[in-house]
Amino acid sequence: MKVVACVKIVPDEQDIIAKDDNTLSFSQNWKISEYDQNAIEVGAQIAESEGAELFALTLGGETVENSKLKKGILSRGVTELFSVCDEAASDADTYSSAQVLAAAIAKIGAVDLVICGEGSGDRYSQQVGNYLGYLLGYAVLNAVSSIALDSDRLKVGRALEGCIEVLELPLPAVLSVTSDVAKARIPGLKEIMAAGKKPSTVWSLADVGSEISEHTSIQSTLAPDSVEREMVIIEGDGDEQIKELAQYIKKSYVGGGG
């Protein structure tokens, strides 16, 4: 059985700065998207319990060749890492990303299960997994919070409002998982050292027989205007104070006090 966890390398959001003109300055520090760490972990758990192979697949610019990030992926129970590297992929939209990932998965061959994070740590569009399932012709499901394998079928849980929905679907499949699916492991020194000896393959777009063809364009990405706190203090806990608070909220956020 082959399992592929799709992984995106993203800027560290802690270092993103909003400039005076509301444009954003992105960090030059890169990391594995936290949502994808959950995808890797549940893939590793399935691989360990079922004797499967877990491959990681990433797409991006030169950051996908960063040796530290590669070790960070391979040290989490991954058998082998495949990377598609092209600077045009650095800002690819969701459909283009899915097209390239689908081509790479086809090149890996005979993949039974593809696991994606619920969204990426930068755009968080939550669409790549759905597109990927469509392009591969696999069963596809998002918002997955638990996975159990039963022969050639999956039993999948989804946490909905007030209940857990349990569905069965056949393999092959593409699943987009939430952060509830598994707690990402913290690799130890032994795992990090071993990761350096694991195979890592870098492909170009031509190698996988795909290209980046944008279907959307970003006009601008701006931070909202900063607003100073008004520091309004309403003293007391009686009915009059509650009414005063309600009127203030209505005036401030609804647009009128009448």
pLDDT tens, N- to C-terminus, the chain (258 residues): 999 999 998 888 777 777 888 887 776 788 898 889 999 999 999 999 999 999 999 999 898 999 999 999 999 999 999 999 998 888 788 899 999 999 999 999 999 999 999 877 676 677 899 999 999 999 999 999 999 888 788 999 998 888 889 999 999 999 999 988 889 889 999 999 999 999 999 999 999 999 888 777 777 778 787 777 777 888 887 888 888 888 888 877 655 444
The pLDDT score that the predictor gives to residue 121 is 65
The pLDDT score that the predictor gives to residue 150 is 82
The pLDDT score that the predictor gives to residue 258 is 42
Cβ count near 234 (within 10 Å): 11
The pLDDT score that the predictor gives to residue 254 is 57
Residue with tokens 């990426």: 120
Contact 200, 74 (CB under 8 A): yes
Q: How far is CA 162 from the centre of its chain?
A: 25
- The residues spanned by each domain of the chain are 2-208, 228-258
* Burial status of residue 43 (CB atoms within 10 A of its CB: 0-12, 13-18, 19 or more): buried
- How far CA 91 is from CA of 3, 9, 10, in Å, comes to 26, 12, 11
Q: What are phi and psi of 16, to 5 degrees?
A: -75, 130
Cα 151 to Cα 38: distance, rounded to the nearest angstrom: 23
Q: Residue 227 is inside which H or E element, if any?
A: none
- For the chain, where are the alpha helices, taking DSSP H only? 34-50, 67-74, 94-108, 128-136, 189-195, 205-208, 239-253
Contact 2, 111 (CB under 8 A): yes
Which one is the CATH code of 2-208: 3.40.190.10, 3.40.50.620, 3.100.10.20, 3.40.50.300?
3.40.50.620
pTM: 0.81
In angstroms, how far apart are the furthest CA atoms of the chain? 71
